Amino acid sequence: MRDWLIALPKAELHIHLEGALEPELLFSLAQRNRVALPWADIDALRAAYQYRDLQAFLDLYYQGAQVLQTAQDFYDLTWAYLKQSAAQGMVHTEPFFDPQTHTERGIALPVVLEGIQAALADGRRELGVSSGLILSFLRHLPEAAAMQTLEAALPYRDAFIAVGLDSSEAGFPPRLFERVFARARAEGLPGVAHAGEEGPPEYIWEALECLQVRRIDHGVRACEDERLVQHLVDIQMPLTVCPLSNQRLQVFPRLAEHPILKMLERGLNVSVNSDDPAYFGGYVGDNFVALHEHLGMTRGQAGRLAENSLAAALAPRG
Ligand code: ADE
Ligand code: ZN
């Protein structure tokens, strides 16, 4: 079953490239770029991968991203992610990157894009993995900063397929970003947004109504609002669920209590994704295997989850 799940062709629709930075690469980039790290060695860094909540993880994730400085660094990061995931059955991916994490510390957007785009092109050619990049705004920063980021990115419009919204959720509702998502839509860029990870079901309503998103990232807290669940079923809104992430960030501390299969059986359009594979201990195929081991997911259910991922892609496949 494990081999079958790994080989199953699947798309990944919720992965942050900065979250694919494995400790080994993090240390080697720190050395290459002469960045001082607060951890003595790789083992000490791995030991820090225990999170009481989303913010505890994000603090570490933003710190780790400081080692990314040159186009080659972004290439190496993206290429390592593609190779690892292609070996787990991934045939298509729509990764996020957070431009503000890099531009805020003086790394120019074209440098970031050059490395990521070159790796995605090699992924298409050498691994047969099709892709589309999503520019994600940091919601703990003001909408004006997101708008500036979008304007600075528009000269590279063809590099993106959509815009996203991530980072600290509680206290930063989607409605705060209504104008920047409208501006992106006017440029032909659809939106997706993290909602209902730690935040309440109202944030999912807002992502739908204020941001007019095409997918909800996470969305697991929809289960607390039956009217919302019925609406999401009716419109077949894709929810990009990340089981190992939810476990590690204490959204569902026991994987056996994760609702993804109940959501699938309820008619919700759910898929399986890794979120931040280096930080949460598994790539997309590993998430499928964990669902089999902890929730008894059947082949039929796995097949439907994989089909949902392929059907919810925004970028053309192949
Ligand atoms: N950025 C990277 N991973 C994230 C997550 N799980 N939620 C919100 N922002 C993120
Ligand atoms: Zn995420």
Q: Is residue 65 part of a domain?
A: no
Q: What is the pLDDT of residues 19-38, one digit of tens each?
A: 999 999 999 999 999 999 99
Is residue 226 pLDDT above 80, yes or no? yes
Mean pLDDT of 175-179: 98
pLDDT band at 317 (very low <50, low <70, confident <90, very high): confident
Q: How far apart are CA 99 and CA 117, in angstroms?
A: 14
> Which domain covers residue 228, as residue numbers?
1-20+72-312
pLDDT at 201 (0 to 100): 98
Q: Is residue 50 part of a domain?
A: no
Q: How far is the CA of 72 from the centre of ligand 2 (A)?
A: 24
Q: Is residue 173 part of a domain?
A: yes
pLDDT at 18 (0 to 100): 98
For 41, counting Cβ atoms within 10 Å of its Cβ (0-12 exposed, 13-18 middle, 19+ buried), the class is exposed
Q: Is residue 59 part of a domain?
A: no
Q: Is residue 63 part of a domain?
A: no
Query: What is the atom index within ligand 1 of the atom nearest the CA of 166?
Result: 9
CATH number at 139 reads 3.20.20.140
Q: Minimal CA–CA distance to 280: which of 14, 82, 98?
A: 14
Question: Which positions are annotated as active-site residues?
Answer: 197
List CB-based neighbours of ion ligand 2 within 5 Å.
275
Q: Is residue 58 part of a domain?
A: no
Q: SS3 for 225?
A: coil
Q: What is the pLDDT of residues 84-120, one digit of tens each?
A: 999 999 999 999 999 999 999 999 999 999 999 999 9
Q: Is residue 242 part of a domain?
A: yes
Count up the domains in the chain and report the number: 1
* Nearest protein CA to atom 1 of ligand 1, as residue: 167
Q: Is residue 158 part of a domain?
A: yes
Using an 8 Å Cβ cutoff, are 270 and 309 in contact?
Answer: no
Q: What angle do CA 80, 84, 85 make, to 5 degrees?
A: 115
What would the two tokens of residue 316 be?
A: 């053309």
